[in-house]
Amino acid sequence: MTSVFCKILYVFMNASISIAMWTIVLMSLDKAVAVSYPLKSGIWVTPKRAFYGCCFISFILSMANLYFIRLSGVTLGNNNKRYCGLIKDSLIIDVTTASILPISK
């Protein structure tokens, strides 16, 4: 496994996880608007706006997860096996993009 492949894999993996979580947040927001404002939800929430929202979230989170290019790489384990993982400890970035932001008020 090359270092470039490892970095690309790690960025896509983290971006996919973040995008999936935020897509669920957008779907929940869509349902909350539909329940709270049933008469106006057809005007406010349209398929076009949902598409733009998903594209916006995907773009922003893809850019935010590009930072993992600097943090990931191929390292040697205890038994001299090479594995793909984080070179530096980036728990704060990972927790912020994946866990804290979708549930904050």
Q: pLDDT for 42-69, tens place per residue?
A: 888 899 999 999 999 999 988 888 887 8
Tokens representing residue 101 in the block:
């932001």
- For the cut 90, the answer to whether the pLDDT of residue 2 exceeds it is no
Q: What whole-number distance in Å separates Cα of residue 19 and Cα of residue 25? A: 10
pLDDT for position 3: 83
Q: Phi and psi (nearest 5°) for 86? A: -80, 135
- For the cut 60, the answer to whether the pLDDT of residue 103 exceeds it is no
Reported pTM: 0.73
- For the cut 80, the answer to whether the pLDDT of residue 26 exceeds it is yes
Most confident segment among 32-36, 62-66, 88-92: 32-36
